[in-house]
Structure 1
Amino acid sequence: MNLDDFTDLIERPDGGVRRDAEERRARVALAPGALGRLDELGEWLAAAQAASPVRPIGRPKVILFAGDHGVAELGVSARPAGTADRLVRAVLAGESPVSVLARGQEVPVRVVDVSLDCDPDTLPEDVVRHRVRRGSGRIDVEDALSAAEVEAALRAGVAIADEEADSGTDLVVLGDLSVGGTTAAATLIAALCGTDASVVTGRGGAPIDDLAWMRKCAAVRDALRRARLVLGDQAELLAAVGGADLAAATGFLLQCAVRHTPVILDGVVSAACALVAQRVAFRAPDWWLPGHASGEPAQLKAFDRMALEPLLDHGVTVGEGVGALLALPLVRSAAALAAELPAYTAPEDGDTGAGAPGDATSGSENPDAAGRSGAAGTAGAAPAPSPDQE
C-alpha cells in the first residue's frame, strides 16, 4: 500500500455547497449567530454531503477498533495487560457505557478486533475476521508491528470504511477498546508534534496513580527515541510505536475521507490516528469532527495541531467512543435545523414586497430543491428579526 496515493484521492468537502448553505442560513428569520456552533455544524454537514439543504443523519454507526498493547506489561494502565477482550465482551453484552448510550440513541455498534490478546474462537466471527495479530509489541523496546502487519492493519481499516460506506452508513462515531493504547497514542502525538513525554502523558481512561503515571512517562520517553528515527514515513512510524488497532483506525479515517463519510473523533487514540492520517493527506481532517475534550493532554495537542475544536467538554474520560457519541445528538440537531428551518426568498423585480413568514406566496423552500439554494433569484437578505430576536 502506498500511503502517498491518499493525497490525490482525498478531496475537500464541497465548498460551493457550503456557500449555498451559508446563503440559505442568511435567509432564515433568525439573527446571525443565534444558533452558535449549530450553524457551523450544519454547513459542515452540507459540504460533506454535497447537499443543501442538508439531509438528516439517518444511518450513523459507532465503530470501535480493539487491541492489546505490550507496553501495558509495564503497569502504565489501570487495567491488567492483555485484558482488552473484557471491554469487548461488555460492549457485545450491552453492558458498557457506549452500549447503553448507543441503545438509547438507536445507533448500532460495531467492534473490530485487530489485535486482542485472546483466543479468537472465544469471540464472534464478525468481530475477529479482521484480526492482524495477537497483541502488539512493547513499543519502548521493540516494534509494535512488522512491515507486513502494519500494511495488513491499514488495509483492514480501508476495507471496513468501504463496507460501511457501501452499506449506507452516513456518519461514523469512532472509538477504541484497548489496554495500553493511550501510551502508544501519546508517543505518536509527541513524535509528530515535537514535544517531550511529560507534555503529552495523561492518566488514561481509567485514571492511574502517580507511580503508574511516572512509568507511563518513562515508556513514552523510551518509545519516542525509537519513533524519531522513522518520522519521515508514517507506515514505519505506526509499525515502530503504534499498534495494529491504531494502524487500522488510521487506514479507516483515510478511506472515510476518500468515500466522503464524515467521522466524529473520540479520545486520545482516535486523535493520534487522525494526526498520523493528516500527515499522510493534509485535506483529510476536513472530514472529521472532534466530539469532545477528554482532558488527555496529548488529545488536545493533536486537535490543536489539526486546528480542530472539540464540541463538548464534560470531563468524560472513559473512552470507548462515549464522548464522541454524546456529541452525536448535537450534530443531528444541527442537521435538523439546517434542513427544516424555512428560508425565505427575496422579491422579484416589480414585486411590492419580499416573501415573509405568514405570506400566502411564501413558505419554506421546496424540499425537492436540495442542492439548488443560492441559484439565481433566491439570494437575498432575511427579514428583520422579531423584537424577541433582536
Structure 2
Amino acid sequence: MGLLEETLISIKPANKEVVEKAWNIIDGLTKPIGSLGELEEIAAKISGVTGKTYNKINKKSVVIMCSDNGVCEEGVSNNPQETTAIVTNNFTKGITGVCVLSQFANSDVTVVDVGIKSDINNPKVINKKVEYGTKNIAKEAAMTRIQAIQAIEAGIEVVDNLVKDGYDLLGTGEMGVGNTTTSAAVLSALSDFPVDVVVGKGSGLTEEQYVNKKMVVQRAIDINKPDKNDPIDVLSKVGGFDIAGICGCFLGAAKNRTPIVIDGFISSAAAVCACRLNPKVKDFLFPSHLSAEPGAEYMMKELGLSPMLNLRMRLGEGSGCPLAFNIIEAALHAMNNMATYEEAALNRSAYVDIREKKN
C-alpha cells in the first residue's frame, strides 16, 4: 500500500464530542452568546481537530510548493518562467511578501521544489522535484498519473516531517508562473463551472491576453478530457505539481490531526482536490482570505467554507496564511483566558487558581 492510500484510509473526522464540549465552554464565557462570531467558530473547530478543549499553538509554518508549468508557452502570464526559480530562492532570504508577513506572525516558512524547471542548488529548499516542470496542458496532459501521485505524496511527507518536528499549525503557499491557469482548469474540470467565470487576469494581463487565457483553459479541458469524478486524473491532466503537492499537504495535515490554512486561489484548487479524495479533510481546513481572482468565490462555494478575510489580495505565495495564523491564535487566546460567568463572580485570586488548573 502506498503513502497516499495509507493516508486516505487513516483520516478520521473531527471529534464532535470535543467540539460540543468546546461550545459549552465558549457559550459560558463572560459575553453574549455568539458575540465573538467567527472567532468562536474557529476555536471550536480547532478543538475538533486536536481533540482538546483548550489549545495553544507552539510552532507554525507556511509550506510553499514551487514548480513550473508548461502552459506558459501559451502566453498566459506576463512573468517570464525564470521568475519561479528566482522567487523560490528569494523565499530563503526572507524578503518576499509571505516571508515578511510570516516574520510578523512569528511563523517559519518551508520551501519545497516539487517541479521547478531548473535545478535549485539551495540547502534551504527541500528537494522533492518530480520533474522539470509540467507539459503544456493546451497540447497534452500536464503529467502522468504516477507523477501526480508522487507530487501528492511529497506534500504528505513534508507535513509528516513538520509535525514530527513539533509544528502544530500549518499554512499552504505556492510559487509557479502560470499556476492561476492550471488552478482555473482544475476548478472548471472538477465542478463544471464555466471557464469564463473562473479564469482571472492573474499577473495583470491585458484584455487580449485575458481572452487568450480563457481559450487556453477551455482548450486544455477539451483536449485532455479530465474525469471530474477522479481528482488525480484532473490533477494529472490539467493541474500542476504545486497544486498536487499542496493537495498532499492538506491530506497530511488531516492524517496528523493538524489545522492547516488555505491561502488563495491556487491552494483552494488543491483543497478542492483533497476534499474530493477524502471529504473528511474539510474538518481540518481554515480558509484565510478571499482572493481577488474571480474564481476564488467559486472555490469557496465548492468547498463550502468561508474565508476569514477579504483584503483584495492576490499575491499568492501563502501570504494570507500568516494573517490567518494571528486570527486563529487570537481565537484560542480568548477561549483560554476569558472568564466564565461563574469565575467572573469570584474574587481575583480564586479566578487565577481556577484558570491555572485549566491551562
Output the TM-score relative to the length of structure 1. 0.87
* 1:29-48 to 2 correspondences below 5 Å: 29-48=30-49
- On the 8 A contact 2:189/2:226 being kept in 1, the answer is no
Instruction: Letter of the 1:63 partner, please give it.
Output: V
74-83 or 14-23, which deviates more: 74-83
Q: Please state whether the residue corresponding to 2:279 is helix, strand or coil.
A: coil
Structure 2 segments unaligned to the other structure (5+ residues): none
- On the 8 A contact 1:98/1:320 being kept in 2, the answer is yes
Match of 1:333 in 2: 330
Among 164, 184, 208, the residue aligned to 1:186: 184
> Alpha-carbon deviation of 1:148?
2.6
Structure 1 segments unaligned to the other structure (5+ residues): 346-354, 371-390
Instruction: Letter of the 2:255 partner, please give it.
Output: V
**1:107-133 CA distances to partner (integer Å, 9 max, x unpaired)?**
11111011111123xx31452421111
- On the 8 A contact 1:230/1:236 being kept in 2, the answer is yes
> Alpha-carbon deviation of 1:35?
1.4
Equivalents in 2 of 1:334, 1:48: separation in Å?
Answer: 15
Structure 1 ranges of 4+ moved more than 6 A: none
> Alpha-carbon deviation of 1:155?
1.6
Q: Please state whether the residue corresponding to 1:175 is helix, strand or coil.
A: strand
- On the 8 A contact 1:191/1:227 being kept in 2, the answer is no
Match of 2:56 in 1: 56
Q: Which has the larger radius of gyration?
A: 1
> Alpha-carbon deviation of 1:81?
2.6
Match of 2:297 in 1: 300
**1:160-205 CA distances to partner (integer Å, 9 max, x unpaired)?**
111011111111111111101111110000111112211100111x
Among 195, 209, 213, the residue aligned to 2:210: 213
Equivalents in 2 of 1:361, 1:150: separation in Å?
Answer: 58
- On the 8 A contact 1:6/1:280 being kept in 2, the answer is no
Q: Please state whether the residue corresponding to 1:109 is helix, strand or coil.
A: strand
> Alpha-carbon deviation of 1:227?
4.9
**1:35-92 CA distances to partner (integer Å, 9 max, x unpaired)?**
1211111111122121112x22121111100011011121111211343111112212
What count of residue pairs does the alignment treat as equivalent? 357
Equivalents in 2 of 1:91, 1:148: separation in Å?
Answer: 29
Equivalents in 2 of 1:260, 1:227: separation in Å?
Answer: 35
Match of 1:160 in 2: 158
Instruction: Letter of the 1:141 partner, please give it.
Output: K
Among 142, 146, 150, the residue aligned to 1:144: 142
Equivalents in 1 of 2:224, 2:357: separation in Å?
Answer: 53
Equivalents in 2 of 1:332, 1:128: separation in Å?
Answer: 28
Equivalents in 1 of 2:356, 2:19: separation in Å?
Answer: 18
Q: Does 2:267 correspond to 1:273?
A: no
Equivalents in 2 of 1:103, 1:132: separation in Å?
Answer: 30
Equivalents in 1 of 2:110, 2:348: separation in Å?
Answer: 49
- On the 8 A contact 1:82/1:135 being kept in 2, the answer is no
Instruction: Letter of the 1:180 partner, please give it.
Output: G
Instruction: Letter of the 1:34 partner, please give it.
Output: S
Equivalents in 2 of 1:98, 1:272: separation in Å?
Answer: 19
- On the 8 A contact 2:115/2:242 being kept in 1, the answer is yes
Match of 1:363 in 2: 351
